[in-house]
Amino acid sequence: MNDNPGHIAEFEKLLTHNLKIPPNKVKFYVYWVNKFLEYRKHRSFSSLDQIMASYLNAIEQDSHFSDWQVKQAAETTSGQSKNSWAIKV
């Protein structure tokens, strides 16, 4: 998604219109989902839940991210956000 502006625009529209994410938070959803997609590219897992847990654990262990950022990533990439990944990314 991060290398295709059309997909980013489609994802942003889905977030604001379908999932009712406030416009001022959309950029954070895009950021964390892009990080997740990059992480997923280099790993193989049997389930979405397994890779999500691994991704969030990796972010938590990374000293570049504060606790609030780990929490934001977890909130962004779980729950209703999983449903938004049905678009082509």
Mean pLDDT of 58-78: 88
User: Is 13 domain-assigned?
Assistant: yes
- Residue 46, class by beta-carbon neighbours within 10 Å (0-12 exposed, 13-18 middle, 19+ buried)? exposed
Contacts 24+ apart (CB under 8 A), 23-26: none
Answer whether residue 31 is part of any domain.
yes
Residue 51 burial by CB count (10 A; 0-12/13-18/19+): exposed, middle or buried? middle
Its domain, for residue 26, covers 5-84
Residues 81, 20: Cα–Cα separation, whole Å: 11
| 89 occurs within a structural domain | no
Q: What percent of the chain has pLDDT over 90?
A: 13
Task: Enumerate the H helices of the chain as residue ranges.
Answer: 5-13, 26-41, 48-61, 67-76, 80-84
Does the structure show a pLDDT above 90 at 4?
no
In this prediction, residue 2 carries a pLDDT of 56
Percent of the chain's residues with pLDDT above 70:
81
Mean pLDDT of 9-24: 86
Tell me the pLDDT tens digit for each residue of 30-62.
888 888 888 888 888 878 888 888 999 999 999
Instruction: Indicate the number of domains in the chain.
Output: 1
Block residue for tokens 């989902």: 33
Q: Confirm whether 19 is domain-assigned.
A: yes
77 within domain boundaries: yes
